[in-house]
Structure 1
Amino acid sequence: MNRRHRRHPRESQSPDEVFAEMLLASRELLAVRSPLDAELMVSDMVGAWWGRRLRGGDAEQVLGEGLVDYAAKAGSPAALTLLIALAYLGTARQAAKAEGAALALIERGVAKPRWAERLGVVKPTGCYVSRDAYGDQDTVVCTFGYRGADNDEDRHALVMVVDYNMRGIARDAWVSSHVDKLLDQARTEAGANPMLRFEEIEPQQARALLESAMKATAEYGDRRTNVPVSDSYSAYHAFARARIKALPPGRKRPAPLYSEAPYSRDRRAMLAAEFLSSDAAEHLSDPSAASRCADHIIDYGCDQDFGRPLRVSPTKCQTFLLDWLPRKVLLTPAEQEAVPYVLGAWARFAARRSGLADRGLRATLDGIWEATARFAEAYRDPTTFGLDRDLLERLLPDGDLSALARRVFAFPFLQGTHGEIKLDLLNPSDEADRRILLGIDHAGELDRPDYDEHLAWHEEIAGRLWEGDPPQLWEAAQRLLDLGHDRHDVLHVLIEIAERIGDDPEELSIALDDIADIPDEPPV
């Protein structure tokens, strides 16, 4: 498919300028004969907005609904073709607005494109999944045909890759019109590779799996991180969302391969004990460090991998060692040295328990040893930057290394003395000590009439920052700090928003997302 009309809106462009460009590009739809080509073209066009944020909300919502209004006012044949496509491909709000606007233009006599009656009128003809023996990912293939069609001209397959090493997100998507060739290739690959399995699944199961995966991708993006999807995902996002709705509903999300019942704390401890007493762990020289490392491995498998601590693969082990640990866990020097070896021993233990083939275990061990040399660079011990180990343990009693920056921001005075108070003895995770620390932070404001109420709000914000709840709170603070604003001014803006919004978590998150700068006179 030619994607020459696909352009990301420039920051300097007004919405109307963006809409005018898209309406101009929509003239190509007038010459299209196939409804499939029309759907793919419009999906590609609106995909330029996918995952972007604007002040005021999600770009797909803000610009998408604005485009509908702009096309309705234009009233041209190109505008009508765009509205008809958006009535099928848009979000629920976009689709409702686009359908109403399209009907109004049709009543005024604007000519419909020849493909309009067939747009989206599809039926599923088969659903399949290709799974690797590690349980790393599912490649889901859903095939469709247009209702009433008497040939295979517009038969097509939607292909989506679900990545379980990235919290089950939909990581890739594309469309193929070579359906039989695609299915034959998948069967041939599975037949030649014992580490692959290809099978047909119920359409209801495919829908539940893909809806969950697309939701996971959207939630990943809501964390304001770069979503690790392919370049093609955004182009096919709207098309995929619409095609998934053409599949019959009725199934809960299927569990990933090898998924087990939830692991309680006691069950996790029992599994760690079984590992440490196994033959696989007998060569580990530091039992204490090995025990703590095993706890991290099990927690990662339970909390980040759908309750699958016994699932091992080269990718999963490398992600744990080079990505999750360096971001999330404060390790002692002994644990830093031990963790690659404990992970290798865990792979041997887990492979026997899960039935992973020998070739899979060998590949996993090779992946761990390849990552071991890079682990020393990936894991930067905060103590190497001059931070005191005792201070770190007070700030990170839960070992959550990702919380360090926001907790230092919330409690900057943790060392030295203040009058007769020894700050090194105060624990910011303790409610009474926390109030003393915040009182020291506001020692110059004792004469303000609302001091107790104001300090209580600082306690509220400090507690939320400590827990990272909601994550948008620290994200908003970082944006304002990056603009050069004073820490206290930033805190006061966060307090003003929390006080104004109240207990509605969704409204609070939206309000925090909308913060772009501090007004000239910040609230106090």
Structure 2
Amino acid sequence: MVGMSPVSRARKKSSLPAAPSVNGLFKDVLRDFSAVAAEPGPFDIDLLASEVVGQWRDVVVEDEPENQLGLELIAFAQRKITPGAAALLAALKVLAESEEERSAAAEALDVVLGRGIPEPEWAAEVGQVSVGECWRTGDVYGDESSLLCVFSRGDHSLGLLALLDFTEGGRVRDLVVIEEPHEVLAEMRSQVEEDGELVVLEKIEPADAHRLLVSGIEATDALDEPDVGEDYPRFHAIALTWARSLPEPSAAAPVAEWTAAQREEAVTRFLADTNLPDADAAREIATLLVDHGCRVEPANPLRVGPEKLARFLESLLDGEYELEDEDAVAPVVLSWASWTAARAGLSEVATAALLEEVTEYLGEYLSDDDEDEDFSDYLDGTESADEALEVVARRRFAVPDLSTVIGDEELTDLDPGDPEQRRLLVIGAHPEYHESLAAEEFDGADGLRLALETSIVDQLWDDEPAEVWTAAQNLLRQDLSREDVLDRLVTVLEGQLTETEEEDQLDYDLDAYRAALAEI
């Protein structure tokens, strides 16, 4: 996705000196405007005034309301009978951010001009721009978007680039003025050509650009401490000024907040379409996902994107919600990503990229949530990113512990990928058999039962046949314990055993076994 423009093309920040006091700041501002050439560049005044207004956002003065600094600067300039004061007031008459300040600057300019100071020749051109093309590019999911608007004055053009964050209601995260907008547009087109299944580019109507830009800035400014780029204050005033040259903003589509019934319906559909073992935990987390979507994006609560899910996981890490089963977060969120991607009609490439990023975020979530958790023993490195969590869930159900005690011997750090060591872990879970095993008197029905449970664990580990794990998940949804689930699976396998021609050998028909599992 095209983010903010390369530094080499962004308008360079002027070196406004730090002021030790408000009056010192005001004197520095007047000095900068006094130095403006008689015939400045086409956009020099707009940019300088925007820099000045941006400084006020960073100035905190004890016992001085910050929103009054603009009016104080205007009053300060009105008392000065100098060309610099006239230049400053002519610029603020257009670039000041509030109607009150713009009116005050116009009145103060009249006072200064009435004292014999000539009006700057460029005054009528400040803020006056012609609107060119507007383009929007972003990720295919709709998490973020870069809005490029081209503005011209005579033969000269600049671009205004705004970074929109739709994981936070479409607010503007940064603003940059671009000297070569045609080069940025060429980069946008190049990215679409190279990565068309993950990046989108569209030309939009200026009225739509007006709505996205101004509503995004308003959303950011409404926050107490917004997280914005360093250029945001510098170009804030110029963005609002040039936006006034755009056609009236288009009307946003009406947003009806989802009812409790609509939220519940979405959760129920998700659970019905996915195959999750713990229905209660899945419902709890899915409900939180729907509520999160309704809060941050009420117009489209079920839109899916890696950053949107990352913000959800951040809210879990920050303790905004209390979960009954935190171990269920990873499989539920990954299933949610797959389900919502299919619902949105995302391509296979986009879905795979989404799952890969979400899996990475989940890894960070799990590592932060439980630093001692390590799943490497359950993976062999051949799994894709989107398969890994499902494999871990299945194998951890088959082999939940890697240490056990058999008789008086404690066995630790066993390798669950080794069939013999897996068998030891199965034996360790049945202390009632340890004495007879040690005496080599373990046979008959108990011996068969333990052998069948070992076979079930092996089948779950290898996912062969896959119907064993599906049946286990169906049983888990019935609130059965792991021990009860294994007991049921052993009973199914035992029911399929038949004697072979070889003495003391048993076998089963695989197709019949699969059919029996499917009936669970």
Tell me the distance in 2 between the aligned counterparts of 1:379 and 1:32: 61
Kindly state the Cα deviation for residue 145 of structure 1 after the two structures are TM-superposed: 1.9
| 1:211 to 1:179, Cα distance in 2 relative to 1, 3 A | same
Q: What corresponds to 2:323 in structure 1?
A: 332
Residues 247-290 of structure 1: per-residue CA shift (max 9 Å, x gap): 111521368xxxx8642211111111111111xx31x3321111
Tell me the distance in 2 between the aligned counterparts of 1:364 and 1:374: 16
Q: What corresponds to 1:287 in structure 2?
A: 279
Q: How does 1:417-428 map to 2 (within 5 A)?
A: none
1:266 to 255, 261, 267: 261
Q: How does 1:218-367 map to 2 (within 5 A)?
A: 218-220=221-223, 222=224, 225=225, 227-253=226-252, 262-278=257-273, 281-282=274-275, 284-321=276-313, 323-327=314-318, 329-334=320-325, 336-367=326-357
- 1:5–1:45: 8 Å Cα contact kept in structure 2? no
- 1:313–1:361: 8 Å Cα contact kept in structure 2? no
Q: How does 1:81-100 map to 2 (within 5 A)?
A: 81-90=87-96, 91-100=98-107
Q: What corresponds to 1:472 in structure 2?
A: none
Tell me the distance in 2 between the aligned counterparts of 1:214 and 1:172: 9
Kindly state the Cα deviation for residue 379 of structure 1 after the two structures are TM-superposed: 5.5
Q: How does 1:130-279 map to 2 (within 5 A)?
A: 130-146=137-153, 149=154, 152=155, 154-194=156-196, 195-220=198-223, 222=224, 225=225, 227-253=226-252, 262-278=257-273
Aligned-pair identity (%): 27
- 1:35–1:116: 8 Å Cα contact kept in structure 2? no
Unaligned runs of 5+ in 1: 381-524
Residues 211-252 of structure 1: per-residue CA shift (max 9 Å, x gap): 1101001112x3xx3x11111111000000101111111521
Kindly state the Cα deviation for residue 301 of structure 1 after the two structures are TM-superposed: 0.9
- 1:187–1:198: 8 Å Cα contact kept in structure 2? yes
Kindly state the Cα deviation for residue 376 of structure 1 after the two structures are TM-superposed: 4.4
Tell me the distance in 2 between the aligned counterparts of 1:270 and 1:306: 16
Residues 402-460 of structure 1: per-residue CA shift (max 9 Å, x gap): xxxxxxxxxxxxxxxxxxxxxxxxxxxxxxxxxxxxxxxxxxxxxxxxxxxxxxxxxxx
Letter in 2 for 1:71: A
Query: TM-score, length-normalised on structure 2?
Result: 0.64
| 1:101 to 1:183, Cα distance in 2 relative to 1, 3 A | same
- 1:35–1:115: 8 Å Cα contact kept in structure 2? no
1:3 aligns with 2:13: yes
| 1:235 to 1:198, Cα distance in 2 relative to 1, 3 A | same
1:44 aligns with 2:34: no
1:108 aligns with 2:120: no
Kindly state the Cα deviation for residue 138 of structure 1 after the two structures are TM-superposed: 2.2
- 1:160–1:174: 8 Å Cα contact kept in structure 2? yes
Letter in 1 for 2:179: S
Tell me the distance in 2 between the aligned counterparts of 1:37 and 1:136: 34
Q: How does 1:489-508 map to 2 (within 5 A)?
A: none
Kindly state the Cα deviation for residue 94 of structure 1 after the two structures are TM-superposed: 1.1
Residue 139 of structure 1 aligns to a residue whose secondary structure is strand
Kindly name which structure, 1 or 2, has the bigger radius of gyration based on alpha carbons.
2
Q: What corresponds to 1:67 in structure 2?
A: 73
- 2:170–2:212: 8 Å Cα contact kept in structure 1? no
Tell me the distance in 1 between the aligned counterparts of 2:367 and 2:259: 33
Residue 198 of structure 1 aligns to a residue whose secondary structure is strand
Kindly state the Cα deviation for residue 161 of structure 1 after the two structures are TM-superposed: 1.3
Tell me the distance in 2 between the aligned counterparts of 1:330 and 1:166: 19
| 1:328 to 1:48, Cα distance in 2 relative to 1, 3 A | farther
Kindly state the Cα deviation for residue 51 of structure 1 after the two structures are TM-superposed: 6.3
- 1:83–1:99: 8 Å Cα contact kept in structure 2? yes
Kindly state the Cα deviation for residue 79 of structure 1 after the two structures are TM-superposed: 1.3
| 1:128 to 1:242, Cα distance in 2 relative to 1, 3 A | same
Q: What corresponds to 1:508 in structure 2?
A: none
Alignment length (residue pairs):
359
Q: What corresponds to 2:505 in structure 1?
A: none
Residues 90-137 of structure 1: per-residue CA shift (max 9 Å, x gap): 021111111111122223221333322211222212222223211012
| Greater CA drift, 357-366 or 235-244 | 357-366
Letter in 2 for 1:270: E
Tell me the distance in 2 between the aligned counterparts of 1:285 and 1:32: 73
Tell me the distance in 1 between the aligned counterparts of 2:27 and 2:320: 49
Unaligned runs of 5+ in 2: 1-10, 371-520
Residue 277 of structure 1 aligns to a residue whose secondary structure is helix
Q: How does 1:429-440 map to 2 (within 5 A)?
A: none
Residues 268-319 of structure 1: per-residue CA shift (max 9 Å, x gap): 11111111111xx31x332111110000001111111234332222211112
Query: TM-score, length-normalised on structure 1?
Result: 0.64
Kindly state the Cα deviation for residue 33 of structure 1 after the two structures are TM-superposed: 1.6
Tell me the distance in 1 between the aligned counterparts of 2:323 and 2:134: 48
Kindly state the Cα deviation for residue 347 of structure 1 after the two structures are TM-superposed: 0.5
1:78 aligns with 2:84: yes
- 2:80–2:112: 8 Å Cα contact kept in structure 1? no
Letter in 2 for 1:160: A
| 1:328 to 1:111, Cα distance in 2 relative to 1, 3 A | farther
CA RMSD of the aligned region, Å? 2.4
